[in-house]
């Protein structure tokens, strides 16, 4: 007996939603960083443009995830966790996946164009960058992490230059170092998974052969130190004090320190290849992030 359309459509719709990876949309919070620290008023449509830019990035990043799953579906079937993804498991076909990716791309670019021509161009650069990454640049050690960081930086640019906000040089430096830190931490987690007993011999990412635990730990330590130092200098910069009319932002540093250390702790004790899942599933990270945001908003606004 065949299942009714209603019974079969609901699971299929859920599988399509899984393909979009909405949990990863938290990464697009980088679009709002410029608005938070620029001192710009949300009046005059700036806030609305930032929201449009963030929504555009959510849809376009989902487009990229879908395309990556299409191209990596054979390799994902050999992975103990990724084989459960809709395309690898066969619950969604490639035709439906390509249609979903196209719909996300059209909608994402439409939202970007509604924000500004600059946001549209940044979204196009983001898509091209990810296509180049998937085409082969992901196999080049060090460069692969910098491309991941570049994707985050484009989000910051969309929320600043894209909507007419001049970003602080300190903001760009902190953002760059933070995203490089997250990129190397992601590679470290992937290396830990590939070396574990459960996936021994599985070569999910050939670039991992060029990394070692000691090398990645060194790069993580350097980039983490850079994040802490650059953020500290940003909070006491005369330009920052003059812009926000407060010299108290330095008091948000303990939250940043705790968040960095907690993330490294989770990396080594729980592993996991997904930074977004780590951030959303750990109470310490959630509370620390919320406390940092609340204190920052209180001091600035």
Q: Show me where the domains of the chain are located.
A: 19-167, 168-301
Per-residue pLDDT of 237-261, as tens digits, reads 998 898 888 999 999 999 999 999 9
CA distance 154 to 287: 27
Per-residue pLDDT of 192-222, as tens digits, reads 877 664 444 444 678 888 999 999 999 999 9
Q: Decide: 185 and 60 in contact? Cβ < 8 Å.
A: no
Q: What is the pTM of this model?
A: 0.86
Instruction: Kindly give the residue spans of alpha helices, DSSP state H, lying in 136-247.
Output: 143-158, 169-195, 213-236, 238-244
Residue 279 scores a pLDDT above 80: no
CA distance 83 to 70: 12
CA 7 to chain centre: 34
Residue 290 scores a pLDDT above 60: yes
Mean local confidence (pLDDT), 52-80: 87
CA distance 103 to 111: 12
Predicted confidence at residue 171, as pLDDT, reads 84
Q: How confident is the model at residue 1 (pLDDT cuts 50, 70, 90)?
A: very low
pLDDT, averaged across the chain = 86
Contacts of range 22-25, beta carbons closer than 8 Å, 24 or more positions apart: 22/58, 22/62, 23/276, 23/277, 23/280, 24/61, 24/62, 24/65, 24/276, 25/58, 25/61, 25/62
Task: Give 11's Cβ-side CA count (13 Å radius).
Answer: 9
Buried b (16+ CB within 10 A) or exposed e, 21-58: beebbebbbbbbbbbbbbebeeeeebeebbbbbbbbbb
**CATH number assigned to the domain with residue range 19-167, chosen from the 4 options 1.10.10.10, 3.50.50.60, 1.10.357.140, 3.40.190.10:** 1.10.357.140
Per-residue pLDDT of 76-131, as tens digits, reads 777 767 777 787 887 888 888 899 999 999 999 999 999 999 999 999 999 999 99
Q: Decide: 162 and 122 in contact? Cβ < 8 Å.
A: yes
Predicted confidence at residue 80, as pLDDT, reads 67
Q: Decide: 60 and 123 in contact? Cβ < 8 Å.
A: yes
């Amino acid at each position: 007996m065949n299942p009714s359309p209603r019974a079969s459509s609901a699971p299929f719709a859920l599988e399509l939603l899984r393909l979009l990876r909405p949990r990863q949309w938290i990464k697009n919070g980088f679009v709002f960083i410029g608005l938070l620290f620029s001192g710009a008023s949300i009046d005059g449509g700036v806030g609305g443009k930032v929201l449009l830019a963030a929504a555009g990035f959510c849809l376009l990043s989902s487009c990229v995830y879908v395309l990556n799953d299409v191209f990596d579906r054979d390799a994902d079937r050999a992975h103990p966790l990724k084989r459960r993804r809709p395309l690898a498991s066969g619950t969604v076909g490639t035709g439906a996946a390509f249609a979903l990716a196209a719909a996300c791309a059209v909608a994402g670019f439409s939202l970007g164009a509604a924000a500004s021509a600059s946001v549209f161009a940044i979204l196009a650069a983001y898509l091209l960058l990810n296509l180049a990454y998937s085409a082969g640049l992901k196999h080049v050690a060090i460069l692969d992490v910098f491309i991941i960081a570049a994707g985050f930086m484009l989000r910051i640019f969309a929320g600043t230059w894209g909507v007419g906000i001049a970003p602080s040089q300190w903001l760009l430096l902190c953002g760059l170092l933070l995203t490089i830190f997250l990129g190397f931490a992601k590679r470290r987690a992937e290396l830990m998974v590939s070396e574990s007993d459960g996936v021994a011999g599985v070569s999910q990412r050939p670039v991992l052969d060029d990394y070692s635990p000691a090398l990645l730990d060194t790069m993580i330590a350097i980039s983490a130190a850079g994040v802490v130092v650059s953020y500290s200098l940003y909070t006491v910069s005369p330009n920052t004090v003059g812009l926000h009319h407060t010299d108290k932002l330095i008091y948000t540093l303990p939250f940043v320190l705790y968040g960095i250390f907690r993330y490294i702790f989770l990396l080594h004790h729980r592993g996991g290849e997904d930074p977004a899942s780590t951030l959303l599933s750990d109470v310490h990270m959630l509370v620390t992030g919320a406390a940092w945001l609340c204190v920052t908003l209180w001091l600035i606004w």
